[in-house]
Structure 1
Amino acid sequence: MEAFENGDLAIIRTIRLASPGALSNTAEQVTAWADAVRNYVRDQLCSQGIVARVEIETEAVRVLLAHIDQLESRFLPQPIDTAPVDGRWILAHAPDDEFLAAAPWVIATRCDDGWHDGDGYAVHPTLWAPLPNPQPKQSGWHPAEGTIRIAHATCRDDKGQIITGVDYSIGIVRGDGTCDDYRGADIAGTIEDARARAQQLANKLGLPIVEEPGPAPRLVHLPPHETPQ
């Protein structure tokens, strides 16, 4: 009996400890795992007495119920302020949004203004739940960091032609010196306009503004669909 407790029950405890990381939370895999435990119990009962049988079945049921509880709790709606702070998509519950009144659940992701759905419309969720696998591709959003830089710039269009009347760029530079490509760069014709645009961005993101000394311009290439305003 001592050998059984030190050996076979140790195997079940190993299964219990490994299962959360080894299994994806899907019903099919939980069922397969339960079958594996059942087969293990059946094999042990061939050589063990009634006491061993009670111990094995009790431990197996305890482990299975704990795993099912973990699976169920993963998909219970949670307050929206506990949602991941990154670009993944979630199942959002937004009952106060008029256009979602009939069906308040929508797939959404974070943005600088809060949350938006797959068509870019703003949503205001109060609860969230994770989406099942396979996960959609993340949006690329991430918390803003670094400083908002105002710099002298020479802008060219998609044909390589210099755009006249545009002398400044406004963009976010991270602490490591790299540019925030997700949020891109804005442009302005005057320093007053550049400062106003930078202040709007600072009000939204909570980042400080830095004016780079110049007049040495940096080159900014605009995508084909963007034109200076």
Structure 2
Amino acid sequence: MDLERKIPSRAEQLSLEFGPEPRLETPSARAVRPVLFFAILPDPAAAARMAELGRMLRRRYDLTGPAAAAARLHVSVFGVGGETEAGIALARRMGAAVTARAFEMVLTRAVSFRGGQTRPLVLCCSDGAAAALTGLRDALGLASDDLGQAVTWRRPFTPHLTLGHDFGAIPDTVLGDPIRWPARELVLVRSDRGLGHHARLASWPFRPRFDRGP
């Protein structure tokens, strides 16, 4: 994996969409919390490459925390809240209300965010991908407003993909060969936080990337 070291101009203190999830405890030490969120999922090749990158970064910087499995890698877009029948129904209506164009998902940097007990090891998006993801987040937020839901979403949003959590940290690192895949759909995911189980509940395809429609 081709990496280039970049000296950061300042420490990045970025809020996570769902808050830090400590992963260094045993499952019995924390309660399972089913939550729903919208996400962009990588294709298998990109997921495998990111999982390998996570392993390499851990070896290089002596990190000891467990890595996220390739099957659970995702870019979070919007958190809906705890899983209930009403919450799932709301999420399905929100997803159906959003119209977006397909785009290229591009991850260009690896960095450690500041978290709670542990520091998330993440991949950050290119400017173009970040703009597309922010547009999706805003569209979902407006859909929740239109549906009369008091969902807090107007807060700082830094699109990223989490490779895992650790007590240690890595320097801001530019990927010499960015990781890419075509983002063609928005996916509603149920996560059993605390067990690491993800289930795909629904998806909505994006319009073709070069569609000239509105």
TM-score (norm 1): 0.19
- Which protein is bigger by CA-based radius of gyration? 1
Q: Which has the higher contact order (CA 8 A, sep 6+)?
A: 2
Higher strand share: 2
Which structure: greater helix fraction? 1
